[in-house]
């Protein structure tokens, strides 16, 4: 193995996933196994996209998903983004170390997810799956600030959700 590829995941391999799930609220419909499945699908989708672009994937991905109430969601959004309201998903990307290990934290605000799902006539599971995928992509360095970045990120989200049997969330 050449020195540059030591410790890196090959183009065709999906990176390993280490996932911790924290519940600050009761979320019976969102058990650990379900959140893990969605996060794993998102990580695999990123690996496929990177391989398709001729890029190496991550070696491992370490994530924490925390489900919170509106008060904690608002406090985190205020403290870290300067926005005084609870948002549906908040992601903290910690980057990738020299060995290709990426990490991040994802906060899902359950009351906001429930409200948005009802407003958008979606099931909680479909909406939570979308926002979990969205958060994982943010944790892996994707963003939607610039229009081309937004289009790329949304395309990847749609592809991952399609592979999971879920509809394009941007059409509804």
What is residue 5's predicted lDDT score, i.e. its pLDDT? 40
Mean pLDDT taken over the chain: 92
* Euclidean distance between CA atoms 154 and 63, whole angstroms: 21
What is residue 127's predicted lDDT score, i.e. its pLDDT? 98
Q: Does 7 score more than 70 pLDDT?
A: no
Q: Which 3-state string (H, E, C) describes 18-77?
A: EEEEEECCCCCCCCHHHHHHHHHHHHHHHHHHHHHCCCCECCEEEEEEEEECHHHHHHHH
The fraction of the chain above a pLDDT of 90, given in percent, is: 88
What is residue 172's predicted lDDT score, i.e. its pLDDT? 62
Q: Does 155 score more than 70 pLDDT?
A: yes
Nearest-Å Rg of the Cα atoms of the chain is 16
What is residue 147's predicted lDDT score, i.e. its pLDDT? 93
What is residue 29's predicted lDDT score, i.e. its pLDDT? 97
What is residue 105's predicted lDDT score, i.e. its pLDDT? 98
* Stated pTM of the model: 0.91
What confidence tens digit (pLDDT) does each residue in 25-83 have? 999 999 999 999 999 999 999 999 999 999 888 999 999 999 999 999 999 999 999 99
Q: Does 157 score more than 90 pLDDT?
A: yes
The fraction of the chain above a pLDDT of 70, given in percent, is: 92
- Stretch 106-123: mean pLDDT, rounded? 97
What is residue 6's predicted lDDT score, i.e. its pLDDT? 39
Model confidence at 14, in pLDDT bands (50, 70, 90)?
Answer: confident
* Euclidean distance between CA atoms 30 and 67, whole angstroms: 9
Provide CATH code, domain 10-163.
Answer: 3.40.390.30
């Amino acid at each position: 193995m050449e020195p540059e590829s030591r410790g890196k995941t090959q183009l065709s391999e999906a990176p390993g996933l280490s996932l911790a799930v924290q519940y600050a609220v009761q979320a019976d419909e969102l058990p650990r196994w379900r959140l893990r499945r969605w996060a794993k699908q998102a990580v695999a989708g990123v690996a496929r996209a990177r391989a398709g672009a001729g890029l190496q994937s991550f070696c491992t991905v370490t994530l924490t998903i925390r489900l919170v109430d509106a008060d904690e969601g608002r406090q985190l959004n205020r403290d870290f983004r300067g926005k005084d309201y609870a948002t549906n998903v908040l992601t903290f990307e910690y980057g990738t170390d020299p060995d290709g290990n990426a990490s991040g934290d994802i906060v899902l605000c359950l009351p906001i997810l429930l409200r948005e799902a009802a407003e958008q006539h979606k099931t909680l599971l479909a909406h939570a799956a979308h926002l979990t995928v969205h958060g994982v992509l943010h944790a892996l360095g994707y963003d939607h600030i610039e229009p081309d970045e937004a289009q790329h990120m949304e395309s990847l989200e749609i592809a991952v959700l399609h592979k999971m049997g879920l509809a394009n969330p941007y059409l509804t």
